[in-house]
Amino acid sequence: MVEIKKILLPVDFSEVAPVVAKWAKDFARQLNAKIILAYILEDLTAYEGIYVDVKTLTELENTLFEGAKKSMEDFLKEYFSDFSEVEPVIEKGDVVETLIEIAKEKGANLIVMGTHGRKGLDKILFGSVAEGVVKNSPIPVVTINPYRAGLLSMEKE
């Protein structure tokens, strides 16, 4: 049997991220594993040809990156103060591809992620990250539906 020593936990800092984080921490504790907490900034270079200059996109990416660092710090303080074996990672790129690359590079043996995250326009623009990871990952993926896990109400969707 494969020994699970590292779990990749992708987060989007949405309202469901703490629910999925709790599940990942529970798995990690039972397996004596480390968590790699990953946030991916969507690569904005695809929008260069839409009458937006590169300087504006670069400034936006820098602002988003600084915001992601602050959100990661806050998330770690609030949800991982009781769990020291966590490595935060913030990368830029295609979300699905970058998550899979991080998992491979960091030696993750398991990916634990939510089936639901951001809603509305974000979901339409970026598609289903969980579906993409499940379909393309060579590493086993456990998906958690936070609304069905008994911790959040379906009314919040």
Pick 147 or 125 by higher pLDDT. Answer: 147
Is the model's pLDDT at 121 over the cut of 50? no
Average pLDDT of the residues in 99-128: 77
> Per-residue pLDDT tens for 54-109?
677 788 889 999 999 999 999 999 999 999 999 999 999 999 999 999 999 999 99
Tokens for 113? 């992620």
Average pLDDT of the residues in 1-28: 93
Let me know: does 72 contact 39? Beta carbons within 8 Å. Answer: yes
Let me know: does 68 contact 95? Beta carbons within 8 Å. Answer: no
Closest CA to 36 of 72, 99, 86, 104: 86
- Percentage of the chain lying above the pLDDT 70 cut: 80
Pick 22 or 43 by higher pLDDT. Answer: 22
Is the model's pLDDT at 48 over the cut of 80? no
**Beta 141-144 vs 86-93: how paired, if at all?**
unpaired
Sign of CA dihedral 27, 28, 33, 34: positive
Q: What is the pLDDT of residue 55?
A: 77
